[in-house]
Structure 1
């Protein structure tokens, strides 16, 4: 599974300035709505589903990275977006540190295998320090898309 297959390039935000976890999630789901990938009437229920998932345990996995995600009946295919917060955001991460890189994933409930494969793909790349360093330095959505393509083609060595 390739990142470019499900990351919505029109929804990428390389200049995220928010105060907290809920604001991150609202902003990222809003960008998916603005890109036309989710309907306006589904926005709040998707946000609520992601926040409910966060109550089970933070998706801030450490090293400045978080992967908020949920399954939601309003989507037919995997969709994801990326946000970069140069100042970092308090996200109740497992290591207690601020988060700079966010991958938000929304999957159809009837495709749990795809959801898990997407999370595994995202996590594998986020374990690569070169990938994370280049992501943090990305200034445009085009920079991020180019980096995702390089990662998909295994051109980033750790």
Structure 2
């Protein structure tokens, strides 16, 4: 499974404005609603589910990245959005540092294997210093998409 198999290329944000976790979650979900990826009437429920998940344990795992994720019965196809912040977001990350890159993954409730594959792909790329650096330096949706494409074709070293 490749990143571009589930990352919605219309939901790539290169200038995330939010500086607090909950606002950033809302901003990324707004983009998914705006692109028609997520039904508007589902947004508030997804926000609540993601924030509840974050309150149990932050998905900001350090190194400037967070991967908020949720499974929902009304999500019919796995979708992800990417938000890049130039200012940093207080995501209550494990290393207590700001988050600059957010991968938000929404999965169908009945596809746990696909969800795990997508999470593995996201995490394996986010473990690479060069991928994180290039993602953080992205200044347009096209640059983010190009980086995801390069990662999918294994052109980025660790």
Q: Place the TM-score, normalised by the shorter chain, in its bin.
A: over 0.9
Q: Are residue 48 (structure 1) and residue 29 (structure 2) matched?
A: no
Unaligned runs of 5+ in 2: none
The ranges of structure 1 where at least 4 consecutive aligned residues each deviate by more than 3 angstroms after the TM superposition are: none
**Does the Cα contact within 8 Å between 1:60 and 1:94 map onto a contact in 2?**
yes
Aligned 8 A contact 1:38 1:74 in 2 = no
Q: TM-score, normalising length from structure 1?
A: 0.98
Question: Do the aligned residues in 1 keep the contact of 2:19 with 2:87 (CA within 8 Å)?
Answer: no
For 1:128 and 1:62, locate their aligned partners in 2 and report how far apart those are by CA, in whole Å. Answer: 13
Two-structure CA RMSD over aligned residues (Å): 0.7
Gapped regions of structure 1 (runs ≥ 5): none
Q: Aligned-pair distance for 1:17?
A: 1.4
| TM-score, normalised relative to structure 2 | 0.98
What is the CA distance between 1:72 and its match in structure 2?
A: 1.0
Match of 1:117 in 2: 117
Cα distance between partner residues in 2 of 1:69 and 1:63: 18
State the aligned residue count: 158
Which residue does 1:27 correspond to in 2?
Answer: 27
Structure showing the higher strand proportion among its residues: 2
